């Protein structure tokens, strides 16, 4: 295999540096758009059966991020959502039949465990165990920021009828540092540096092919000027010759 001429090696290196810079810029753009981490994680529970209440286990509210939004739907019924300290919620639930939400799967479904027990419990809206709660007709939504302590969510209607028909839990993921700005900055430096270097090398090679500029013609030689003493002798000899020639 033939070797690359030495005069071409700097150009190849400069072009390779510029190419790597372009690739880094493209990779940084991907990390900033297509490959950027999702800002939210959502999981859904469809159908709660005849259970009068759905509750979450400790740790689920901050499972995927520091902020969670819960939305529950029950057409034609009042929907209650409440969050309280785990021990207070457990005392309120007692031995009621319920669905415990323990996590979510990769397909975005809430994972539950069923606990059998009593068919009803007191109306949650009339119980003073909630740190945050809401109750509206047909659907309800509640936002909960990450708060120190152990907390549980309760979703129900009136404590006697079946619970909500669907529940959506959306976590706002914690912001993570991205490598996209660094990749783009380094890529720009490499692209500009390699491109400028390559342009200079190509321009220099063109000048070398043209050869050096022609030399200017030599200046005419100046005859040496006689010394003052010699000039004086020449003038004296010239005057003597003129006197001799007179008649």
pLDDT single digits (tens) 146-182: 899 999 999 999 999 999 999 999 998 765 566 777 8
Element (H, E) at 133: strand 132-145
* Residues whose CB falls within 8 Å of the CB of residue 137, separated by 6 or more in sequence, listed in order: 77, 78, 79
Q: CB burial class (10 A; 0-12, 13-18, 19+) of residue 115?
A: middle
Q: Which two tokens stand for residue 12?
A: 């190849």
Write out the residue range of the structural domain in which residue 197 sits: 6-35+181-208
Q: Indicate whether 36 pLDDT > 60.
A: no
Q: Indicate whether 54 pLDDT > 80.
A: yes
pTM of the model: 0.59
Residues 117 and 64 in one domain: yes
Residues 46 and 138 in one domain: yes
* Lowest-confidence pick of 117-126, 152-161, 204-213: 204-213
Q: Which two tokens stand for residue 74?
A: 């029950």
| 225 belongs to a structural domain | no
Residues 151 and 82 in one domain: yes
Residue 55: which CATH number?
2.60.120
| 195 belongs to a structural domain | yes
Residues 45 and 167 in one domain: yes
How many domains does one find in the chain?
A: 2
């Amino acid at each position: 295999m033939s070797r690359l001429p030495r005069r071409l090696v700097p150009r190849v290196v400069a072009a390779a540096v510029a190419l790597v810079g372009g690739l880094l810029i493209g990779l940084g753009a991907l990390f900033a758009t297509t490959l950027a981490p999702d800002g939210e994680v959502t999981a859904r529970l469809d159908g709660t059966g005849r259970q009068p209440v759905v509750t979450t286990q400790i740790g689920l509210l901050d499972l995927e991020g520091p902020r969670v939004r819960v939305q529950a739907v029950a057409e034609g019924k009042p929907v209650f959502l409440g969050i309280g300290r785990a021990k207070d919620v457990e005392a309120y639930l007692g031995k009621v039949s319920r669905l415990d939400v323990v996590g979510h799967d990769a397909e975005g479904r809430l994972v539950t465990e069923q606990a059998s027990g009593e068919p009803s419990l007191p109306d949650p809206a009339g119980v003073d165990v909630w740190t945050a709660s809401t109750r509206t007709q047909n659907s309800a939504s509640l936002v909960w920021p990450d708060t120190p302590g152990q907390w549980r969510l309760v979703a129900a209607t009136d404590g006697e009828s079946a619970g909500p028909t669907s529940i959506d839990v959306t976590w706002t993921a914690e912001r993570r540092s991205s490598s996209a700005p660094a990749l783009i900055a380094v890529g720009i430096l490499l692209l500009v540096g390699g491109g400028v270097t390559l342009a200079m090398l190509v321009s220099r090679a063109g000048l070398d092919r043209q050869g050096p500029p022609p030399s200017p013609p030599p200046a005419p030689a100046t005859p040496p000027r006689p010394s003052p003493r010699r000039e004086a002798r020449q003038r004296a000899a010239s005057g003597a010759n003129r006197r001799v020639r007179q008649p």
